[in-house]
């Protein structure tokens, strides 16, 4: 069993650290929040005094932090100066590609291996150990990270070199946002034109308009399988987080001189939904905005 440092015990990291401890790893955990630290301790982790302590004398350091600036600060101030050469660094946060590649370079210069390993799946998957990890880094770093990530997920996929895990995540969510918006507007249009939404589902779910947004996560209550729409859009994947990921996609597209008009349109709609109070609602709740309702 490995000694693993874990920094960032929030909605996602709390459950992930608990799963590592449950699988028998020696987990030394830190978060700025005393509440989060107490929960991690109750779940079998050892409470560390600070992020620098977490990085010392461990085989791997996992970070699960809000955004690129938090990851860069924690790496530069605590992890890189304190981790022994050979320590594996696993960043599971969703961050911008530029920062992911920059911290990997700074770590490599200190003899440290890094993978960017953002996740698909929300808080329930983090708690249940059923996340999907998309991993960027060398083959050697991936081979070391894979058994650790497997304790927290159902699938661990090597995307390629450093940063490609983040690329996979933001491209996936760019696609997901566009299919969700298109699914919402098509249901509303079908209804407006006199077609029963359930009948539209029965047809389109077996026709070429079918997508995960329709058949696994239908945005209309009472249609398709059980989904956040059936719980008033509570739980699920918060619209604020979808907006964050769309902004990352737009930023990366700008860096690469690529055009993503569908992503830009989806980002504008999610921005309006968030501004109107939909921030915490599941991202399928965007159907309310398209239907002219308040969040």
Minimum gap (Å) between residue 71 Cβ and ligand NAD: 8
**Burial (0-12, 13-18, 19+ Cβ within 10 Å), 259:** exposed
What is the C-alpha separation between 91 and 77, in angstroms, rounded?
15
Minimum gap (Å) between residue 224 Cβ and ligand NAD: 21
Minimum gap (Å) between residue 278 Cβ and ligand NAD: 15
Residue nearest to ligand NAD (CB): 10
Strands 46-47, 3-7: pairing kind: unpaired
Residue located via tokens 């992911």: 100
- Looking at the Cβ atoms of 36 and 104, the one nearer to ligand NAD is 36
What is the C-alpha separation between 261 and 127, in angstroms, rounded?
35
C-beta separation of 209 from 186 below 8 A: yes
Minimum gap (Å) between residue 13 Cβ and ligand NAD: 5
Does position 66 interact with ligand NAD (CB under 6 A)? The reply is yes
Does position 274 interact with ligand NAD (CB under 6 A)? The reply is no
Q: Which of 13, 219, 228, 263 binds ligand NAD (CB under 6 A)?
A: 13
Does position 54 interact with ligand NAD (CB under 6 A)? The reply is no
Q: Which of 37, 48, 64, 103 binds ligand NAD (CB under 6 A)?
A: 64
DSSP 87: -
110 is catalytic: no
Using CB under 6 A, which residues numbered 205 to 244 contact ligand NAD? 237, 241, 244
Which residues are CB-neighbours of 266 under 8 A, at least 6 positions away? 174, 177, 178, 180, 181, 246
Minimum gap (Å) between residue 119 Cβ and ligand NAD: 5
C-beta separation of 34 from 48 below 8 A: no
Q: What are phi and psi of 159, to 5 degrees?
A: -90, -30
Q: Which residues bind ligand NAD (CB under 6 A)?
A: 7-13, 30-33, 36, 51, 64-66, 70, 74, 93-94, 119, 122-123, 237, 241, 244
């Amino acid at each position: 069993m490995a000694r693993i440092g874990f920094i960032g015990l929030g909605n996602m990291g709390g459950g992930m650290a608990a799963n590592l401890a449950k699988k028998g790893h020696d987990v030394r955990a830190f978060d700025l929040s005393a509440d989060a630290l107490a929960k991690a301790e109750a779940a079998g982790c050892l409470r560390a005094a600070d992020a620098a302590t977490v990085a010392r004398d461990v085989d791997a350091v996992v970070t699960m932090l809000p955004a690129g600036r938090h990851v860069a600060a924690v790496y530069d101030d605590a992890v890189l100066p304190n981790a022994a050469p050979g320590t594996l660094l696993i960043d599971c946060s969703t961050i911008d590609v530029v920062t992911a590649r920059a911290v990997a370079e700074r770590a490599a210069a200190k003899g440290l291996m890094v993978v960017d390993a953002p996740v698909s799946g929300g808080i329930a998957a983090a708690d249940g150990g059923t996340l999907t990890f998309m991993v960027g880094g060398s083959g050697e770093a991936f081979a070391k990270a894979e058994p650790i990530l497997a304790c927290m997920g159902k699938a661990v996929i090597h995307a390629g070199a450093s940063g490609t895990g983040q690329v996979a995540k933001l491209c996936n969510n760019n696609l997901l946002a566009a299919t969700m918006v298109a699914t919402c507007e098509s249901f509303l249009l079908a209804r407006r034109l006199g077609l029963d939404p359930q009948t539209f589902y029965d047809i389109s779910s077996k026709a070429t308009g079918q997508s995960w947004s329709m058949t696994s996560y239908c945005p209309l209550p009472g249609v398709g399988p059980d989904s956040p729409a059936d719980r008033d859009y509570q739980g699920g994947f918060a619209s604020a987080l979808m907006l964050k990921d769309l902004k990352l996609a737009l930023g990366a597209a700008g860096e690469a001189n690529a055009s993503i008009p569908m992503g830009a349109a989806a980002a504008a709609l999610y921005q309006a939904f968030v501004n109107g109070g939909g921030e915490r609602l599941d991202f399928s709740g965007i159907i309310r905005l398209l239907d002219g309702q308040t969040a």
